[in-house]
Structure 1
Amino acid sequence: MGELLGVAVLGTGHMGADHVHRIGTTVGGARVVAVADPDVARAEAAVAGRAGVSVHRDAAAALAAPGVDAVLVASPEGAHEEALLAACARGLPVLCEKPLTPDSTSALRIVEAEARLGRRLIQVGFMRRYDTEYADLKSLLDSGRLGRPLLLHCRHRNVSSPPHFTSSMLISSSVSHEIDAARWLLGQEITAVTVVRPTPSADAPRGLLDPQLVIFETSGGAVVDVEIFVNSGCGYEVRCEAVCERGSAALGDAHTMVVRESGRAQEEVAQDYLVRFADAYDREVRAWVAAAREGRVTGPSAWDGYAAAAVAEAGVAALRTGVRTAVDMSERPALYAAGVPGAAPALPSR
């Protein structure tokens, strides 16, 4: 491997282009050497002005490009499995944006393929683990200072949903972050899901069940409730409160700036996840690059991606039927059994 980690970025849409920019300007120790996107013009635009980057229409060609040491997958979820298996076959470390794959069956195939290799290559992009507020909450809960966590109250709001968004995607796409955060913060698996459906907002697109209240039960006896509201019209808001035996702790309320002038106070509300979690994305990619340069993978694993898919599927079933639904998960392979569910590294230094 050369002095800089050569990264192939697969997919140059909103997220992929942001990662191209991040690696080129914010994250040290790496450079983008190849990109792939069926929309070649979009790929070319994403790397405009960057020397030494080859542009490809398909992922296989980008993986085979000279100088590729690692892969960042930001393509649509339907293309993830093929790209991940190809990267594993080449022994390339991967940072894969969530979801790992579109469903638990294909996610399990990725887990099994990696387990056969006998070493981890894949990190899943659950970036909230790298957010300073979430990391502080995790440290506090792990310390035992507040006693056993009893409840997690979570709020996840977007300004508006994309045109293609469906009712099930509120869970499989948006709430997937809360699924991983809950498993990680509590060190417990989610065992059952219930979804409560209020009357949809008048501002929700026709036929979209928005908002929803998603309730998780965990293997340690905690209960997690998630308000997901993707057409709130206000901003991108993420909050989480842990209620424990001897106290509580909350994050998210103080994240934005409050301006006071002329007898009024105004709070800025982020309009986009790339704004709210910009620092977390920087920390995530920086940690991944540092580990990959040392031949390690330290962040959320393929097993975490599989677990999120399994819980999301139970949630979608609960949404459809209105019935509490148990989560069906396979046995965890030994490769992922070293720590608690969702074990993750300490935050990298800046």
Structure 2
Amino acid sequence: MTLGIAVIGTGRMGADHVRRIETAVGGARVAAVADLDADRAAAVARGIKGCSVHTDPAAAMAAPGVDAVLIASSGPAHEAALLDAFARGLPVLCEKPLTPDPAGALRVMEAERRLGRRLVTVGFMRRYDAEYQDLQHTLRRGKLGRALMLHCRHRNAASPSFFTTEMLIRDSVVHEADATRWLLGQEITAVQVLRPRPSSYAPRDLGDPQLVLFETSGGAVVDVEIFVNCGFGYEVRCEAVCERGTASIGAGGGLVTRTTGRAGRAVPQDFTVRFAEAYDREVRAWVGAVRAGRAEGASAWDGYAAALVCEAGVRAQRSGERVEVRLPERPALYA
């Protein structure tokens, strides 16, 4: 069976996923696309045989040949699209965040629980990155002893015009929230945010950079430097400090040039370059799981947990205080 996918949202991420499904993922095709911008949706669908174009996500999901949904629209639109997909019994790959707020994520999770089966995979693509997978395997094997700290860097060359201080947490550090939980197998129990004087290159009213501190249920401490106007490129790094050594990823390999007294390598300019292979692996894994009738990857519970951490992070941004994260008991569906 070739899986027919409706892609909701055809902006930068959605368009990249359409290209990916059509050129790099076997056993799937783009059956429909939807975007509020009809011209943009039509441009993305151009040349794809049998792909219908819509401005309403519900219409795209109801289109002939649609077996599953990939949601790549903006975060505030995710909840409605997810609930519509549930009503149709369609499996979903939803780009992060599951929803921008814990209340919405809880509604999504409760709706999925009522169905009695998992339909959602949340698009935390770092779980599919080869370096992150190596780091997780190293930590889980235990040869370095217990992980004591994680040092994380998350840098972008420049932020888009609509980016806000709150989005530093909800749209960027959300990745580190999930990666911390996944790498360590521990929950985040508290968040604190330290705010240095903003960079002179940051847009007005954007408090960039910031240092975010996580405490975990296993006694680890995690620091995340989030700097979305660093100027030089896109960089994501992580170093685990353990009892008997350290392990680090993200230093970057590839071609090194030496000329006129200088040596260096290219720095990726955005996430679609740095994590291109991870996105490919993620979508391939999701397609394979859906075709096999199972669910895998980050769940709605993971999306809800990350949303709770981010909510605490935003409160910590505003207050300057340490804010505890109160996670309820994990439902049996997500055990």
Q: TM-score, normalised by structure 2?
A: 0.99
**2:319 corresponding residue in structure 1:** 321
The answer to whether the aligner puts 1:124 opposite 2:122 as a matched pair is yes
Query: Separation in 2 of the partners of 1:108 and 1:98?
Result: 15
Unaligned runs of 5+ in 2: none
Query: Separation in 1 of the partners of 2:111 and 2:33?
Result: 25
**1:301 corresponding residue in structure 2:** 299
Question: Which residues of 2 match residues 159-198 of structure 1 at below 5 A?
Answer: 159-198=157-196
**1:55 corresponding residue in structure 2:** 53
Mapped contact 1:100–1:305 kept (Cα < 8 A): yes
Structure 1 residue 262 displacement after superposition: 4.7
Mapped contact 1:59–1:83 kept (Cα < 8 A): yes
Letter in 1 for 2:320: G
Mapped contact 1:156–1:227 kept (Cα < 8 A): yes
Q: Alpha-carbon deviations, 1:1-24, whole Å to 9, x = none? A: xx2100000000000000000000
Q: 1:134 aligns with which of 106, 120, 132?
A: 132
Query: Separation in 2 of the partners of 1:324 and 1:248?
Result: 27
Structure 1 residue 328 displacement after superposition: 2.4
The answer to whether the aligner puts 1:283 opposite 2:277 as a matched pair is no
**2:104 corresponding residue in structure 1:** 106
Letter in 1 for 2:194: V
Query: Separation in 2 of the partners of 1:252 and 1:334?
Result: 35
Distance 1:70 1:253, change over 3 A: same
Unaligned runs of 5+ in 1: 338-350
Letter in 1 for 2:333: L
Size of the aligned set, in residue pairs, is 335
Q: Alpha-carbon deviations, 1:301-337, whole Å to 9, x = none? A: 0111001100000000000000000012232111012
Q: 2:65 aligns with which of 48, 63, 67?
A: 67
Query: Separation in 2 of the partners of 1:234 and 1:256?
Result: 17
Mapped contact 1:258–1:266 kept (Cα < 8 A): yes
Compute the RMSD of aligned alpha carbons: 0.9
Structure 1 residue 190 displacement after superposition: 0.2
Secondary structure of residue in 2 paired with 1:188? coil
Letter in 1 for 2:50: G
**2:155 corresponding residue in structure 1:** 157
**2:36 corresponding residue in structure 1:** 38
Letter in 2 for 1:97: E
Structure 1 residue 102 displacement after superposition: 1.5
Query: Separation in 1 of the partners of 2:209 and 2:49?
Result: 45
Query: Separation in 1 of the partners of 2:36 and 2:300?
Result: 26
Question: Which residues of 2 match residues 171-320 of structure 1 at below 5 A?
Answer: 171-320=169-318
Q: TM-score, normalised by structure 1?
A: 0.94
Q: Alpha-carbon deviations, 1:194-216, whole Å to 9, x = none? A: 00000000001111110000000
Query: Separation in 1 of the partners of 2:142 and 2:297?
Result: 23
Structure 1 residue 254 displacement after superposition: 2.8
Secondary structure of residue in 1 paired with 2:165? coil
Structure 1 residue 263 displacement after superposition: 4.0
Mapped contact 1:256–1:270 kept (Cα < 8 A): no
Letter in 1 for 2:68: A
Structure 1 residue 256 displacement after superposition: 4.5
Q: 2:22 aligns with which of 21, 24, 45?
A: 24
Structure 1 residue 255 displacement after superposition: 3.8
Mapped contact 1:256–1:269 kept (Cα < 8 A): no
Query: Separation in 1 of the partners of 2:236 and 2:30?
Result: 31
Mapped contact 1:71–1:94 kept (Cα < 8 A): yes
Secondary structure of residue in 2 paired with 1:6? strand
- Percent of aligned positions with the same letter in both sequences? 69
Structure 1 residue 300 displacement after superposition: 0.5
Query: Separation in 1 of the partners of 2:294 and 2:255?
Result: 37
Mapped contact 1:96–1:125 kept (Cα < 8 A): yes
